[in-house]
Amino acid sequence: MPARKPLQFTAADPLLASFPPVVAADTRTLILGSLPGAASLAASQYYGHPRNGFWKLLSEITGEDLVAMAYENRLQALLAHRIGLWDVVAAARRKGSLDSDLRDIVHNDLADLLAQLPQLQTIAFNGGAAERIGRKSLGGLAGKYRILALPSSSPAFTLAYAEKLARWRDLVRE
């Protein structure tokens, strides 16, 4: 298989921005992704690509059919389970949806958000890029929390669903 040609970016390439955090004062678990992909950005929804396994995985973990719910109801259901969402990347340039193509990354202020979540116990990274970027952003704060490195819910990460689910079940193990 030939090597992939590196992408070229210019200042004319748009800077893609993440969504605001979905959290409440009683959030105990925070799931951090990298930056929403093209389908999610177009839909203005976290994990908006229909093949992304995120909502299916969380349905199994929460016992609620999040997939069948309207998006706003999904978010409210997560908050009721004391689960929050955000991304480690506030903005970046990217062609397509692959995390490996992120350039000119601007980090979200994780320390500021964590200071607003006094009941937070677990930080879970959805995928390797989120973990790499997020651990750098957390710095010394990481020691205050249970940190989980979860396999990406993206369809681009080809781990079998059953294996992903087994690892994602760690969210509910203390």
pLDDT at 5 over 50: no
User: 């979860």: which residue's tokens?
Assistant: 150
Does residue 40 fall inside a structural domain? yes
- The DSSP code for 2 is P
Q: How far apart, in whole angstroms, are the C-alpha atoms of residue 168 and residue 43?
A: 25
What count of Cα atoms within 13 Å lies in the side-chain half-sphere of residue 66? 25
Does residue 88 fall inside a structural domain? yes
The pLDDT confidence band at residue 92, using thresholds 50, 70 and 90, is confident
Does residue 6 fall inside a structural domain? no
pLDDT at 86 over 90: yes
172, 57 Cβ separation under 8 angstroms: no
pLDDT at 57 over 90: yes
The two three-digit tokens of residue 90, written as one number:
């506030």
Mean pLDDT, the chain, integer: 89
More confident residue, 103 or 44: 44
Give the pLDDT mean for 71-75: 98
Side by side, the strands of the sheet bearing 83-87 are: 83-87, 29-33, 122-126, 146-150
Q: How far apart, in whole angstroms, are the C-alpha atoms of residue 82 and residue 80?
A: 5
Does residue 142 fall inside a structural domain? yes
The CATH number for 53's domain is 3.40.470.10
152, 126 Cβ separation under 8 angstroms: yes
Does residue 2 fall inside a structural domain? no
User: What pLDDT is attached to residue 97?
Assistant: 66
Considering the candidates 52, 73, 108, 126, report the single residue annotated as catalytic. 52
Does residue 5 fall inside a structural domain? no
Does residue 131 fall inside a structural domain? yes
What phi and psi values does residue 33 have, to the nearest 5 degrees?
A: -95, -170
Q: How far apart, in whole angstroms, are the C-alpha atoms of residue 102 and residue 111?
A: 22
Portion of the chain with pLDDT greater than 70, in percent: 88
**Catalytic status, residue 52:** yes
User: What pLDDT is attached to residue 46?
Assistant: 97
- CA 91 to chain centroid, in Å, comes to 14
Does residue 4 fall inside a structural domain? no
The two three-digit tokens of residue 101, written as one number:
């193509």
Residue numbers of the domain that contains 119? 17-172
Q: How many CB atoms lie within 10 A of CB 150?
A: 20
Number of domains the chain is built from:
1
